[in-house]
């Protein structure tokens, strides 16, 4: 027996122009987490399916030497390869393979919910934003980590800069500004946010930060690296005027392989 379609559901479908989305996941040696992340993303895509929208998942294997690409394929993702171990390049390579009208970048240690993707859909349907992000929540109860993520969330709301673990944007706008800056090995999401905001102003649109639903992301970087290591990196970044951000070896928290 065919289930009758409610008047509300017919209204939603009729008033939701077809949108396609590409969810890009950069991944370097993420065999411990990639399967769970993709499971969560698959479940969250239901928010788009309800609207009759199509979506795809693209995992960019950033030269992993573990089972990351095999696990991603087994989970139903399209896998592309980026040989240069750099987050900006991995995201850009994933975006080049994307076919969607909109891109959503999700880190391999982060879990979006169907409610968060639903809010992304609401932003897209409203038609006033060209890009956005969301507030972040760690998956652990580390007091110091939660303090710092709270500070970041305040900064994000005030500046409308998106955390790298979750960024969504129109594909056309992303390509127009040249994607992520491949000269940067860290803070590339802040640079992208700045340029997306500039493009939004030129188009009389905006960049938004979703506050109602948060992305759950791993606290592992706080746990795997000492307070001294984090302070040393921040200090070197400030003293060098940001030059260390252009050298892979000077950004060990992202590239030394600790998992």
pLDDT at 140: 82
Sequence-separated (6 or more) residues with CB below 8 Å from residue 9: none
Could you tell me if residue 246 is inside a domain? no
Could you tell me if residue 233 is inside a domain? no
Would the pLDDT of 13 be above 70? Answer: no
Could you tell me if residue 66 is inside a domain? yes
Query: What's the total number of domains in the chain?
Result: 1
Could you tell me if residue 230 is inside a domain? no
pLDDT at 91: 98
pLDDT at 257: 82
pLDDT higher for 60 or 225?
60
User: Which residue range forms the structural domain that includes residue 12?
Assistant: 7-219
């Amino acid at each position: 027996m065919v289930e009758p379609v409610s008047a509300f559901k017919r209204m939603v479908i009729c008033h939701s122009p077809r949108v396609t989305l590409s969810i890009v996941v950069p991944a370097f040696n993420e065999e411990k987490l990639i399967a769970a992340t993709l499971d969560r993303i698959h479940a969250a895509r239901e928010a788009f399916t309800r609207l009759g929208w199509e979506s795809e998942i693209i995992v960019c294997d950033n030269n992993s030497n573990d089972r990351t690409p095999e696990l991603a394929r087994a989970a139903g993702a399209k896998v592309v390869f980026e040989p240069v171990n750099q987050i900006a390049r991995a995201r850009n390579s994933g975006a080049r393979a994307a076919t969607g009208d909109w891109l959503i970048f999700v880190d391999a240690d982060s879990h979006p919910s169907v409610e968060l993707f639903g809010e992304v859909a609401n932003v897209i349907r409203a038609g006033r934003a060209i890009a956005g992000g969301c507030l972040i929540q760690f998956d652990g109860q580390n007091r110091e980590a939660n303090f710092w993520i709270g500070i970041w969330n305040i900064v994000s709301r005030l500046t409308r800069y998106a955390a790298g673990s979750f960024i969504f944007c129109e594909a056309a706008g992303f390509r127009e500004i040249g994607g992520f800056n491949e000269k940067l090995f860290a803070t590339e999401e802040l640079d992208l946010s700045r340029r997306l905001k500039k493009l939004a102003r030129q188009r009389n649109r905006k960049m938004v930060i979703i506050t109602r639903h948060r992305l759950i992301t791993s606290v592992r970087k706080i746990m795997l690296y000492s307070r001294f290591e984090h302070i040393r990196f921040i200090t070197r970044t400030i003293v060098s005027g940001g030059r260390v951000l252009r050298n892979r070896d000077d950004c060990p928290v992202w590239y030394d392989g600790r998992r």
